[in-house]
């Protein structure tokens, strides 16, 4: 069942990269972390996707060496692949590039909805949380603060830093703050049956592996 989970994870990461690219091209503002990533890319030779990977690597290293947050294969692939896919889509010649604010807003909403879909897919794959989520959990563990408080302070901080560096803040930033959580919850509920199905298939395989040798021995 690992192969199916891995496939689901990678589909989710690809879609997440596409959603980020759509929101960047919309040019109506970005979510807190993406404002930060864009700010880094504006002040360094790094592309947007490379800035995502660099930031993800930094928080992942802290999470592992500091509070020793458990890292799964999904965590590592999340850190590596979303930025790569974002750059791939942003580099496509025919990728949508809206000419007006209304079209940009529509593109952002499409990207935002896809973010919820992608998050639901990669989380329910059950192969590890994203590096930024691990960072929040790690800081909460070290400080004793609530996860909600640490997440809020972290996102406000990266938003402020990204804005100072020139990242895009606008109506899209507000929409992201208001709807990202509910969208994620909706798609997590939508896909929650997948994890149970994987578990049932895994249990069935284990039982089959335990029964088969005995039955084959009886044939001799």
Residue 83 phi/psi, 5-degree rounding, is: -65, -40
Higher local confidence (pLDDT), 214 or 113 = 113
Helix, strand, coil percent values for the chain (each to nearest 5):
80, 0, 20
Q: What is the CA radius of gyration of the chain?
A: 20
Q: What is the pLDDT of residue 54?
A: 97
Give the pLDDT confidence of 125-155 residue by residue, as tens digits: 989 889 998 899 899 989 999 988 999 999 9
Question: Which candidate, 81, 97, 108, 128, places its Cα nearest to that of 174?
Answer: 108
Q: Identify the H or E element spanning 90.
A: helix 73-90
Question: Which candidate, 154, 125, 116, places its Cα nearest to that of 137?
Answer: 154
Q: What is the pLDDT of residue 198?
A: 77
Cα angle 110-115-118, degrees, rounded to a multiple of 5: 120
Question: Which candidate, 61, 58, 80, places its Cα nearest to that of 13?
Answer: 80
Residue 204 phi/psi, 5-degree rounding, is: -65, -40
Give the pLDDT confidence of 32-42 residue by residue, as tens digits: 999 999 999 99
Q: What is the pLDDT of residue 220?
A: 40
Q: Which range has the worst mean pLDDT, 1-5, 36-40, 53-57, 84-88?
A: 1-5
User: Which region holds residue 128: left if phi is over 0, alpha if psi is between -120 and 50, else beta?
Assistant: left
Q: Supply the pTM of this predicted model.
A: 0.89
Higher local confidence (pLDDT), 201 or 159 = 159
Q: Identify the H or E element spanning 99.
A: none
Mean pLDDT of the residues in the chain: 90
Query: What is the number of H-type helices and E-type strands within the chain?
Result: 8, 0
């Amino acid at each position: 069942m690992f192969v199916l989970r891995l496939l689901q994870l990678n589909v989710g990461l690809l879609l997440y990269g596409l959603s980020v690219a759509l929101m960047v091209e919309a040019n109506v503002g970005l979510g807190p972390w993406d404002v930060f990533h864009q700010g880094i890319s504006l002040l360094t030779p790094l592309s947007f996707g490379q800035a995502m990977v660099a930031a993800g690597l930094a928080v992942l290293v802290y999470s592992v060496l500091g509070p020793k947050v458990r890292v799964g294969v999904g965590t590592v692939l999340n850190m590596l692949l979303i930025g790569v896919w974002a750059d791939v889509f942003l580099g496509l010649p025919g990728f949508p590039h809206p000419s007006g604010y209304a079209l940009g807003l529509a593109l952002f909403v499409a990207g935002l909805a896809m973010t919820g879909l992608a998050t639901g897919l990669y989380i329910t794959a059950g192969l590890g949380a994203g590096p930024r989520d691990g960072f929040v959990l790690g800081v909460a563990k070290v400080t004793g603060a609530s996860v909600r408080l640490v997440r809020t302070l972290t996102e406000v901080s990266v938003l402020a830093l990204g804005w100072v560096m020139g990242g895009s803040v606008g109506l899209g930033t507000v929409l992201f703050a208001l709807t990202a959580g509910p969208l994620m919850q909706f798609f997590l509920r939508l896909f929650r049956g997948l994890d149970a199905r994987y578990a049932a298939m895994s249990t069935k395989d284990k039982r089959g592996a335990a029964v088969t040798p005995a039955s084959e021995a009886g044939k001799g």
